[in-house]
Chain A
Amino acid sequence: MSGLARMIGQRLALGAFTLLVVSMVIFAAIEALPGDFAEAILGQGATPEAVAAIRESLGMDRSPVERYFAWLGGVFSGDFGVSFNQLSFQSQYGQTGERDVVTVADQLAPRFANTIFLAATAAAVAVPLALTLGILAALYRGSIFDRAANVGTLTSISSPEFFVAYILILFLAAANPVFPSISKIHADLDFWERLYRTVLPALTLTLVVTAHMMRMTRVAIINLLASQYIEMARLKGVPRWRVIVRHALPNALAPIINVIALNLAYLVTGVVVVEVVFVYPGIGQMFVDAVKLRDMPTVQACCLVFAAAYILLNLLADVLSVLTNPRLRHPK
């Protein structure tokens, strides 16, 4: 067991290290900003106070290393700083007291919850659906079902998210107003109302991700079914269903876990475009807006959240597939 523990320890350490390096890369973004960024960003409306505030928040007087650790320390305590947008706003309309400063974290938190809700809804449908369809396609390889699924999934993964989204809007919102085309989500909605308003964006994500996941599941299973120990099981007279359940499935866990993680990670990215189409108040939309305004603290915060989700998902998959590997579970 110690070998296994060490292995998992290594993976976790590597994951933590990657996160750290990624945070450095994201932080280094500010260092790479050309010219006097504060004036550039505030443009015409730049008041000296605002420029000074931004300079201070960037900590121009300190060394980059110092600033990095200050920023990282803030991140750990949930403080991503104040957005430039807010600073600019305050500089023009006057400071109305400490309490009214809206920090990036304040903006991020509810939106983050919304995004998680959207992604989770999509995943809850997509994962079981894709696994079932993928396994069926592998079992009936070469059948009409398999070939139709191949064409269907290829078409689906080839389509940009906004294409799928607008088709859904066209038929399910504009022509037949079944669902709202704009997802107005706020805190005091009950679960069902929230779900109702999330249906279209979640459906878009589901369609795109299911196709991917199903294809990968199919390939993973087919590779497995070609193994000699599967042939051996068949030659022992083991019935078909038992070959799958007892001989294929335990070995398929690792590839399937990887497929799921990869696609959940893909969801993280796909959410950006979908949120913009449906004006869904998640971090994807916030991120895009911040990019357009070049609002650095917000961009950094969103980036870090996305990257962390992505890395953690991959890490989880990694650890789980180590755990399901009999060679590692039962060392020599």
Chain B
Amino acid sequence: MGFLTYVVLPLAVLTGLAWTARAGFRSIAGPFGAVFRAMPLTAAFGLTVVLIYVLAALFAPAIAPYGESQVFDEFNLFPGENPDFVLGTDQLGRDLLTRLLYGGRNTIGIAFVTTALAFLIGATFGFVAAVLGGWLDQTVSRTVDVLMAIPQLIFALLLLTIFGQSTINMILVIAVLDSTRVFRLARAVGGNIVVMDYIEAAKLRGEGLGYLIFKEILPNAAAPLLAEFGLRFCFVFLLIAALSFLGIGIQPPLADWGTMVRELSIYIGYAEYGDWQAASLPLLPAAAIALLTVAINFTVDWMLDRYSGLKD
């Protein structure tokens, strides 16, 4: 029965919410609202979930019953054992619901900062390489080729071994590694735009690099870049969760979902004794991760669909 309450019920509630939200999205008037007119349910689901996550992350301190690292005497409480601690407490006596909320805030926040940093680096180099071409483009492109020849998780682990495991190091390492993908995309998208005659006209007018990138290229690259931001965020989010799960990512005392999955994984054996509430504890943060990435993917899928539909 745990399956019903934990999986079917929340999904049903979310889908219902999405259904209602879609009606709301669709009724937005004006040219901006036209975007939402033909919105499929999956996209509405995605947007709704993303919105809920963002709000929960922003207002976690207000929603959470206790402080992030507040320790109580009652440790290793099972869910439901004490009404004060709905999901129970961990081995140090911290409220799991509170940890879950803060964990979301931290994981999402850190992933967002990392992705933004990766975009800043990757898009800047990508556009400059696309506009200038020549040796600069060659140098950066070949460097990126080499960096991308090593799988990202492996490379991240190597670099974290060298620089030491800290949250800041992890953000920097992943941002730099992930910026290679952003570079590739920005270089490709920029490359497609640079060959346009309006760029030639602007170059021949004598416009500088800044004008070309910000006024002529960026507005045209916004749609694919935004979609890519969603996908890269998912990737970074999963990578950070994986690293934390391995114990090499976000470091304590910060709460995060990957670490929570690892720490709670011992409870899974309780399924044998029919205690589904305890057994599904590690799945809670894991499902929270999955749900967000699914939601973003649904949204991006719809955006890409629209974008490619607009092109022809």
Contacts and interface: CB of A to CB of B under 8 A. Distances in A.
Interface string A295-317: 01001101100110011001000
Given A22-B149, A177-B272, A155 B241 contact: no
Contacts of A157: 297
Nearest to B298: A154
Contacts of B242: 160-162, 272-273
A167 B248 CA distance: 23
B52 interface: no
Taking chain B's interface residues, is the majority helix, strand, or loop, or is none over half, making it mixed?
helix
A159 B245 CA distance: 14
Contacts of A306: 150-151, 154
Given A29-B158, A160-B238, A269-B151, A170 B283 contact: yes
A161 B268 CA distance: 16
Nearest to A151: B42
B132 to A, nearest CB: 24
B187 to A, nearest CB: 19
A154 B290 contact: no
Which secondary structure dominates where chain A touches chain B? helix
Interface stretch (A108-116, A247-255, A285-293): A285-293
A303 B298 CA distance: 34
Interface string B260-300: 01000100111110000001101100110110011011100
The contact size tier of chain A is: 35 or more
Contacts of B245: 160, 162, 273, 276
B290 A159 contact: yes
B146 A25 contact: yes
Given A25-B146, A160-B242, A268-B151, A292 B247 contact: yes
Given A269-B151, A290-B161, 13 more contacts: A18-B146, A21-B146, A159-B286, A166-B286, A174-B268, A269-B153, A272-B153, A276-B246, A287-B157, A291-B160, A291-B248, A303-B150, A310-B151
Interface of B: 42, 145-146, 149-155, 157-163, 234, 238, 241-242, 245-248, 258, 261, 265, 268-272, 279-280, 282-283, 286-287, 289-290, 293-294, 296-298, 301
25 contacts: A22-B150, A29-B158, A33-B162, A151-B42, A154-B298, A158-B293, A159-B294, A160-B242, A160-B286, A160-B289, A162-B242, A162-B286, A174-B268, A175-B279, A269-B152, A269-B153, A272-B153, A272-B154, A273-B246, A287-B154, A291-B157, A296-B161, A299-B161, A302-B154, A307-B154
- Pairs of residues from A and B, 10 with the lowest C-beta to C-beta distance, nearest first: A174-B271, A158-B293, A163-B286, A159-B290, A158-B294, A175-B271, A269-B151, A306-B154, A307-B150, A269-B153
